[in-house]
Structure 1
């Protein structure tokens, strides 16, 4: 699975977004870029093995074992280089 973060102007500063969800606003582009790089790196760290319980679309409760190794592949798109000042 691939997830795409985008660094964009937001709320008077800069932020990163995933889909339609924005991070906090940072005063500079460089700060937003540093923050999204940290978040993207954390996405690649394997988690702990665990049993997951969830309700499926039909209302049936399911239990599954997750070994914690299924991590998304993050990508960062940086809109800064479209000529906007930092």
Structure 2
């Protein structure tokens, strides 16, 4: 099973969490960014149904793939 790490970092004049090289929106405090990362990590654990998804990578390229709803990563929040 794969792992996804949410790292709390300073970003854009505030704090954000970063996962796979992508930043969240900025938050006014470290605590607020940490709370948002915990919420996102919790949502990663919820199984769903298989779906076709599209996403943009850090190089601006778009990808489309089928995501199995029961293949959930292990989320980790890192300060």
Pairwise TM-score range, normalised by the shorter structure: 0.7 to 0.9
Tell me the C-alpha RMSD between the 2 structures.
Answer: 1.9
Distance 2:46 2:51 in 1: 18
Structure 1 residue 33, shift from structure 2 partner? 0.5
Structure 1 residue 19, shift from structure 2 partner? 2.4
Distance 1:36 1:3 in 2: 11
Distance 1:51 1:26 in 2: 30
| Correspondence 1:76 to 2:38 | no
Number of the residue aligned with 2:48: 47
Moved beyond 4 Å, runs of 4+: none
Give unmatched runs, 5+ long, in structure 2. 53-65
Structure 1 residue 69, shift from structure 2 partner? 1.2
Over 3 Å counting, the alpha-carbon distance change for 1:11 and 1:47 in structure 2 is same
Give TM-score, length-normalised by structure 2: 0.73
Structure 1 residue 43, shift from structure 2 partner? 0.1
Structure 1 residue 3, shift from structure 2 partner? 0.8
Number of the residue aligned with 2:58: none
Give TM-score, length-normalised by structure 1: 0.68
Give unmatched runs, 5+ long, in structure 1. 53-63, 79-86
Number of aligned residue pairs: give it: 65
